[in-house]
Amino acid sequence: MATLYDFEGRWRIARQIDDRLAGSQGRFEGIVTFAPDGQGLTCREAGELTFDGQTPYAATRTYLWRQGAEGIEVYFEDGRFFHLIGGDQAPVAAHWCDPDDYRVAYDFTLWPDWRAVWTVEGPRKDYTMVSEYMRLAP
């Protein structure tokens, strides 16, 4: 698996969203930038989100990526721990956000292209997101 600073740079992202609860399909396309911040990398997604039959809109999100003893630690922008990307080639992780369960499987076997598949289930959510990342610039 890649190390933390191997992610530094710009990536194209294409994300498919299957929202089973709402019965709709979505797509996010944009740019992800991993930039050094003195403690690791700040990961910022910016792009356009579209759901079937709705007007597209701008969407952003930011995470903090840090090198930990067991792999890459991912935090929300406000510093709360999100999940750990372990050191194996196909790491999986989970995050409980009461009452919903978030599970992710990363795939780095085609590095520098990689993917993350999120499955989210609970009384308020039921969707799968498949995100494909392709390097634009280191």
Q: What is the pLDDT of residues 17-65, one digit of tens each?
A: 999 988 999 999 999 999 999 999 999 999 999 999 899 999 999 999 9
Structural fold of domain 4-137? Lipocalin (2.40.128)
Provide DSSP, 44-107.
EEEEEEEETTS--EEEEEEEEEEEETTEEEEEETTS-EEEEEESSSS-EEEEEETTEEEEEEEE
* pTM for this model (two decimals): 0.89
Structural domain boundaries in the chain: 4-137
CA dihedral in degrees (40, 6, 135, 73; nearest 10)? Answer: -50
* CB atoms inside a 10 Å sphere around CB 69: 7
